[in-house]
Amino acid sequence: MISYQEIRKNEAINTYIRKADESLLALGYTEHSFPHVTHVAETVRMILETLEFDAHTIEVAQIAAYLHDIGNLVNRVDHSQSGAVMAFRLLDRLNMDPQDIATIVTAIGNHDEGTGVPVNAVAAALILADKSDVRRSRVRNTDEKTFDIHDRVNFSVRKSVLKINEEHTNIKLKLTIDPHYSAVMDYFEIFLERMVLCRKAAECLGLQFKLIINEQTLL
């Protein structure tokens, strides 16, 4: 099997990730480059390891996480679908097992709100890991006066923790938000659809999703 570490070292893949993020930078989006995709890959590993999935599934899921945003190279619109097609071509040329390619392509094609559905455990873990990556360091706009709502919400997050309880019955996204930069309502304005998708993803894994902001349970 092609390993996650081999994928991380693949120069062609890294070029596409880098160039995709350059496009998003030009459009004013938050960071979607190596810090994001590696954070998502590590969170996917945490979720699936905690739920005692086998090592092979975890490796496949981490590869899906690392590749999940390459579709932004084509266009931000429908980037999950274009990214899935790109991932298929890249992994097929690396002679990856078709079963693993199928799992990865399905997860990437279903990771975004609006069109995504947690059709399997890998897709569900990717959704939860991706949508929970809200943090100040993703904001690239240095002028606070020109922050849009995405900048404000991400910049306001002082701490973000995604954790599964010991009983493996729920998964909590706990955020500490600085209200000086963003109100809780701002978070809901741009992330409600994402949180609904997280709830569906948690259910796919046999969990209940909970969102806690400033010690208040909201979902």
The pTM score is: 0.95
Report the pLDDT value the prediction gives residue 30, as an integer from 0 to 100: 93
Report the pLDDT value the prediction gives residue 159, as an integer from 0 to 100: 93
* Furthest C-alpha separation in the chain: 51
In terms of Cα–Cα distance, which of 36, 10, 43 is closest to 164?
43
| Paired tokens of 166 | 């010991």
Report the pLDDT value the prediction gives residue 191, as an integer from 0 to 100: 87
User: Which CATH number characterizes residue 40's domain?
Assistant: 1.10.3210.10
Q: How many domains does the chain have?
A: 1
Cβ contacts of 165 within 8 Å, gap of 6 or more? 171, 172
**What DSSP string runs through 49-66?**
HHTT--HHHHHHHHHHHH
**Domain with 198 in it:** 4-217
Per-residue pLDDT of the chain (219 residues; tens, 9 = 90+): 899 999 999 999 999 999 999 999 999 999 999 999 999 999 999 999 999 999 999 999 999 999 999 999 999 999 999 999 999 999 999 999 999 999 999 999 999 998 999 999 999 999 999 999 999 999 999 899 999 988 999 999 999 999 999 999 999 999 999 998 988 888 888 888 999 999 999 999 999 999 999 998 887
Cβ contacts of 31 within 8 Å, gap of 6 or more? 21, 137, 138, 139, 140
Phi, psi of 89 (to 5 degrees): -65, -45
Report the pLDDT value the prediction gives residue 142, as an integer from 0 to 100: 87
